[in-house]
Structure 1
């Protein structure tokens, strides 16, 4: 659930990766990125880039 909220923050609210991860309770940016990639199939930065096109 928190990864879905983080994705919303990244893609809709346009907050940074570290801010999104921290906002939903991750203390480690690398842990956030790993779990995000596992769920969505690409890193947060790549997801942002893909949504911009």
Structure 2
């Protein structure tokens, strides 16, 4: 994400809107997906080893 945002800034400063706008939408979509994943992720519980085996 850090590299993509750097590219986004460079495209914006160079006024290359054909790359700036789609990259901005991709960054926003990725950030939204990562946020949803962070708040909904539920790791599976570790299996408990059986005693006596």
Which TM-score applies when normalising by structure 1? 0.33
- Larger RCO, structures 1/2 (Cα 8 Å, 6+ apart): 1
Which TM-score applies when normalising by structure 2? 0.33
